[in-house]
Structure 1
Amino acid sequence: MKSDLFAVRSILFLPASNPRAIAKARESAADLVVLDLEDAVKPADKAEARIAAVEAVSSEWPMPVAIRINGVGTEWQSDDIEAVAGSRSDYAVLPRASSLQDVRQVADALNKPLLAMIETAAGVLAAPEIARAAQALIAGTNDLRADLHLPLDATREPISTALQLIILAARAGEVPAFDGVFNRLSDAEGFLSECMHGRSLGFDGKSLIHPDQIAPCNEAFGPSQDEVQTARRLVEAFSGGAERFEDRMIERMHVEAARRALKRAGEG
């Protein structure tokens, strides 16, 4: 597998123009932090945010850090690419990725591993090709709803096909897939429900917009203790071929799934 992001559960996005948020992110339990130069930053603050992002990644972080640049065709992208290419960020994030050509051009210019956000109908349809050049796919559910002309308060049902296509593209391309953000910050129950729904679809983790979402996200997308214990027993018991394990039939595919669970639990 070409990506090293399969163990990531939580991706915390924050404005690169907010030093307080950056300081809090350093101390958080997020698996990956994204310093945002795009939607979270006002046009008048883009240059300042760019400088702040580069400065922030110049020192060590306890987790990998990415910088989200502005999109293809915007007036800020060329400056973003120049700054991020020379920075110490571990990854870059491209919003509104819509074609393999765009992703390859940006990745080559940055000379960094690139995570591609799938946020438009064109991006969903091109996702299988995009996954060939990206290290991960991230569902941009807010922009996707807008691009599909859905109501602002639309549920996930109208975008369910798009979400599944993103996951299929990621699996075919052997890269991880991450679910979109949950906007209602005070709705802890709704957030957890969406995390569990995302995991049931096959997402590896989720994008977050507040530090309070990190702990429940990590728990939801990480294997439970029961899952870990079952995975250990299954791996130890397997002797090859189809066989009975705790009153069910298992094959090599089940062992591979168990090993993935153990790896996400830090035992792989």
Structure 2
Amino acid sequence: MPTASPGAAPVDTVDLPLFVPADRPERLAKAVAAGPDAMIVDLEDAVAPDARDAARAGLAGAFAALATGMPLLLRVNARGTAWHAHDLAAAAALPLAGVVLPKAESGNDILRVAGETGLPVIALIETARGIAALDEIAAAAARLAFGSIDYAADLAIGHTRTALADARARLTLASRLAGLPAPIDGVTASVHDTDLLAADCAHAREMGFAGKLLIHPAQIAPARAAFRPSDGEIDWARRVLEAAPEKGAFMLDGAMVDAPVLARARQILARAPQAETA
């Protein structure tokens, strides 16, 4: 895969990126101050069709005025739209960490975007065709993300955890088989319902996702807390690793601990603040 711009963080560290409309450059500095993992400057759904050309033209100036080391990504318009080719040309000239490709439906889509921009591509899976081609997409992409609202609309199914469980499981499995970081979950549309956001994040984490696409600065802190292991999990993981012999299974708190359990303990500590693994 092509590498990101010099100094840009790799997309595998971007778990909680915040969308910012490309036609609202005054929001960029505010978004940086809010402290997400990264910003996804959006040329697609967040911008009216008749404003997308002007928004794209203003990106270079907006980025030049932005003093930050935060990774910047650009969500371009989908392949087959009138804006796609121009978006890719702009992305190639901007100081980006990566490109987000909506409605990704083939490995060739990913390879062409990566080739034309010289950037890693986060493939946004939003359609039945995207799910059907998931393995080849994962083989070409730098990371997978789930556009759950568009996916539910494409299949005319409910936007519920039950209806979307199969698709989420497929993204997790495809990411693992391709050696990619764990995928990023779709948005929670309710901006100020922190209980719903926390529950959505907990479900995504349970399904093997490492992060979530965010649409408002108010979602950053609750989402970060929800993806962080609990104090109880961290304490358990530390005790497991401290008690582990050099080899073989053993008992702890009346439960068997063997290699898979040790692996889970290490995974928990890897996600903990100031993690220490054994």
User: In structure 1, how many angstroms separate the alpha carbons of the residues matched to 2:70 and 2:266?
Assistant: 23
Task: Tell me the CA shift for residue 60 of structure 1.
Answer: 4.3
CA distance change for structure 1 residues 252 and 70 in 2, over 3 Å: closer, same or farther? same
User: In structure 2, how many angstroms separate the alpha carbons of the residues matched to 1:156 and 1:249?
Assistant: 31
> Is 1:82–1:110's contact at 8 Å kept on the other side of the alignment?
yes
Amino acid in structure 2 at the alignment position of 1:157: T
Please show how residues 73-152 of structure 1 align to structure 2 within 5 Å: 73-150=80-157
Higher relative contact order (CA 8 A, sep 6+): 1
In angstroms, what is the RMSD of aligned CA positions?
2.2
SS for the counterpart of 2:140 is coil
SS for the counterpart of 1:131 is helix
- Larger mean CA deviation between 156-165 and 258-267 belongs to 258-267
User: In structure 1, how many angstroms separate the alpha carbons of the residues matched to 2:242 and 2:71?
Assistant: 33
Task: Tell me the CA shift for residue 107 of structure 1.
Answer: 1.1
Matched, 1:69 2:90: no
Unaligned runs of 5+ in 2: 1-8
Please show how residues 213-252 of structure 1 align to structure 2 within 5 Å: 213-238=219-244, 239-252=246-259
**2:203 equivalent among 182, 188, 197:** 197
User: In structure 1, how many angstroms separate the alpha carbons of the residues matched to 2:102 and 2:60?
Assistant: 18
Unaligned runs of 5+ in 1: none
SS for the counterpart of 2:58 is helix
Please show how residues 47-58 of structure 1 align to structure 2 within 5 Å: 47-58=53-64
Amino acid in structure 2 at the alignment position of 1:133: A
> Is 2:98–2:119's contact at 8 Å kept on the other side of the alignment?
yes
Task: Tell me the CA shift for residue 197 of structure 1.
Answer: 1.2
SS for the counterpart of 2:204 is helix
Give % identity. 38
> Is 2:16–2:211's contact at 8 Å kept on the other side of the alignment?
yes
- Larger mean CA deviation between 28-37 and 184-193 belongs to 184-193
User: In structure 2, how many angstroms separate the alpha carbons of the residues matched to 1:53 and 1:195?
Assistant: 31
Task: Tell me the CA shift for residue 9 of structure 1.
Answer: 3.4
Q: TM-score normalized by structure 1?
A: 0.90
- Cα deviation 1:32-77 (Å, max 9, x = unaligned): 2111011111112112222333334445424322111111111111
Task: Tell me the CA shift for residue 97 of structure 1.
Answer: 0.3
CA distance change for structure 1 residues 56 and 232 in 2, over 3 Å: closer, same or farther? farther
1:188 paired residue number: 194
Amino acid in structure 2 at the alignment position of 1:68: R
**1:267 equivalent among 251, 258, 275:** 275
Task: Tell me the CA shift for residue 4 of structure 1.
Answer: 5.0
Task: Tell me the CA shift for residue 88 of structure 1.
Answer: 0.7
